[in-house]
Chains A and B, each alone.
Chain A
Amino acid sequence: MGQLIQEEQSQLIDTGIKMSGARAVLEILLREEVEYIFGYPGGAIMPIYDELMDYQDRLKHILTRHEQGATHAAQGYARTSGKVGVCFATSGPGATNLITGIADAQIDSTPLVCITGQVSAHLLGTDAFQETNIIGISMPVTKWNYQVTSADEIPEVLAKAFYIAQSGRPGPVLIDITKNAQFDTCNFQYKKCLGFRSYIPVPSINDLQVKQAAEAINRSKKPLLLLGQGVLLANAESELKHLIEKADIPTAWTILGLSGLESDHPLNMGMLGMHGNYGPNLLTNECDLLIAVGMRFDDRVTGNLDHYAKQAEVVHIEIDPAEINKNVHADYPVLGDAKAVLEKLIPLVDQNDHNDWKERFKRCRQEEQKKVIEKAMNPTSDQLSMGEVMKWINQYSGGEAIVVTDVGQHQMVACRYAQFRQSKSSITSGGLGTMGFCLPAAIGAKLGSPDQEVVAIIGDGGVQMTIQELGTIMQCEIPIKVVILNNEFLGMVRQWQELFFDKRYSATEMMNPDFVKLAQAYNIQSERVLERDTLDAAVHRLMSSKESYVLEVMVAKENNVFPMVPTGASVSDIILEKPNNYESK
């Protein structure tokens, strides 16, 4: 421990009161301005839960119905509030149940502090009841983890945990606290961690790199900016807008960059990647400069790297040095926090206009409108489409709501068509693609931004992965608008089976429960829509309800999401509709 003490720079907040390790944990949460804890009790964390009784007025505990739900709720909270999400779980199965959410938070750079109970120190390594090596298990999916075996360590370790989770590129931290450390007495004093010697969270900006990036932007005739979550995490939305408006740069976003630029902004050209918009994908292979800001060139964005923007130069503004040249070579890397970099970049960038270039995007949009969007939003068939449900949600949300999505076809449709006027309003599982994310994440999202409506868009498959969280919604009276887009299939997998596996629908058809009755069993208002005539009014009831509401919409069973960049294809080989004789692989 001497090590930790020596290395830290910290800010003394208070000194020397004797208390149990368990109480110290809660005192620290107060000092870190934690409002909500998402968790689930059990033997090894009972001392902390016992102390929690005395803190209920200051620390609100949300009892989820599964520890995975606790992590996703904490993620939703972190993403809408910009603060750290906090989870509690017991040892053994409680701790292992956190892993999916922690892995999701790691790949999507979401700040979490997860506190797990652990068997007493003298039992470690003995296969004691509910002992599991959660430090070993969580190591590859956490930004940092640490096992505390004595009460005295708690303040320093937790100070470090909060600091690491939210500094630099954020991520999840897991702190495992043995039961004896919770019971034992420590001499409590708390100093916020402000840094330590081995960790440089934000690289300092190299002005030459900024200058060269600006020159590349000024030279460019056909620039395309790629907006990633780094912009949102750095709170750099207005700087980004300033840059693109000044230099007139068409802008497209990754799925986690969604809502960072309002949907109706004239330079917002839409979504990148596999089910993204036509223009941004096609023109990636025509632009002369890609300006990537806070994004990591995920393979769902780039398609086949051998045919990705080979004609273009690349500016890559990024906080994490390991992302530079990882997937795409950066001609002009700029390391640093997106906001700070953009502030330096804007004055060096010339006022410009790129009307001809923007015209290309406009024409792509027109083609996509005709071949894809119109069909999705105003289908001619009797069957309802996911797109038209989104149309009505937009109508009644006015773009002000938070839209939380699960994983699958509905996610792609929702992210393509949902309208946003406020940043940090789209919450989805991007990097891990975790089905079951949506319902608990929506709970956290609402607590993180209570003034916004929260609409959870979920497939009939994914909703059943964490459907028990309806119990959390009921008990905590958190008003969430849940929309189940029911196609009676694991739709996205079915789409791939249709296109690439000769329509062999292996294990994708679903027999579902009566979701309306199920919601009602939780005392949540609910209705089902079968026909177009009743959709508008039903969405209106959903959106205007003061309380939680579950709306099940029976949509076409075998619709496909287009456009699509087939796996292994280049982004510019994006297809707008299913070819007549599509070659299955």
Chain B
Amino acid sequence: MSLNKSLTISVFSESRAGILHKITTAFSRRKINIISLTVSECEVEGVFRYTIEVEEQEDSIRKLVLQLEKQVEVIKAFYHYENELVSQEIALFKIPISAIAAGKAEKILREHNARVLTLEADYAVIEKTGYRREIMALYQELESMPILEYASSGKVAISKPETDIRSYFNKSVPQHAVIS
């Protein structure tokens, strides 16, 4: 039995209500747990990019990616190893303003390259972008403040090899608009 790997799946699809459901059911049907999922429009208008992190056997992800591509709205799906991606995450921490006032936070924020987004009467919100491990390192330092609220995004990733999603469009279909 081979070991689970950290893999990142990128799915490019047309925008349409329900497509997220189709994508996630492809995972749940095979009992593949999604660690994080991020969706945004990509550089091609109308095409959405789903970045999905999993810990799984590579073979099952290879098959899953083909099943994802089978959806008629999905243009292309890939999976990547960690080292094939440039990736980033963002986290927000709410801590008591007293922690800032007492001067405990400044050094930590500097060391971690984090910044203060807002200062209010009772709390401050701090932002950190980076790898998950960097975010977790900051989390540990801030934990004693204490952290009043914490939220983080999934992974946003771009693959190192050049991929132009347009090259995966069905070439036999002209791209001009048909006016009705």
Contact = CB atoms under 8 A, between A and B. Distances in A.
B14 A7 contact: yes
A573 to B, nearest CB: 25
Interface in A132-158: 135-136, 139-140, 143-145, 155-156
A136 B15 CA distance: 17
A196 interface: yes
Contacts of B75: 197-198
Contacts of B13: 198
B161 interface: no
A198 B14 contact: yes
A309 B132 CA distance: 45
B70 A9 contact: no
Interface in A104-144: 135-136, 139-140, 143-144
Contacts of B131: none
B170 A199 contact: yes
A197 B169 CA distance: 5
A200 interface: yes
Nearest to A1: B180
Contact of A3 (B16, B22, B62, B63): B16
The size class of the interface chain B forms with chain A is 20 to 34
The 6 closest A-B pairs by CB, nearest first: A322-B66, A197-B169, A195-B173, A9-B173, A198-B75, A199-B72
Contacts, number: 75
A326 B67 CA distance: 10
Interface in B4-31: 13-16, 18, 21-22, 25, 29
B69 interface: yes
Given A198-B169, A322-B63, 19 more contacts: A3-B16, A3-B46, A6-B178, A7-B14, A135-B18, A136-B21, A164-B72, A189-B180, A191-B180, A194-B173, A195-B172, A195-B173, A197-B75, A197-B169, A197-B173, A197-B175, A198-B74, A325-B63, A326-B63
Interface in A296-330: 320-322, 324-326
B103 interface: no
Interface in A216-260: none
A6 B25 contact: no
Interface string B21-59: 110010001000000000000000010000000000000
B173 A7 contact: yes
Contacts of A143: 72
B177 interface: yes
B89 interface: no
Contacts of B16: 3
B180 A139 contact: no
Interface in A446-496: none
Contacts of A51: none
A35 interface: no
A139 B71 CA distance: 10
Nearest to B179: A5
6 contacts: A9-B178, A136-B21, A145-B18, A155-B180, A191-B178, A322-B66
Contacts of B22: 139
Nearest to B12: A198
A7 B15 CA distance: 12
Contacts of A136: 18, 21
Contacts of B180: 5, 155-156, 189, 191
Given A5-B178, A164-B72, A322-B69, A195 B170 contact: yes
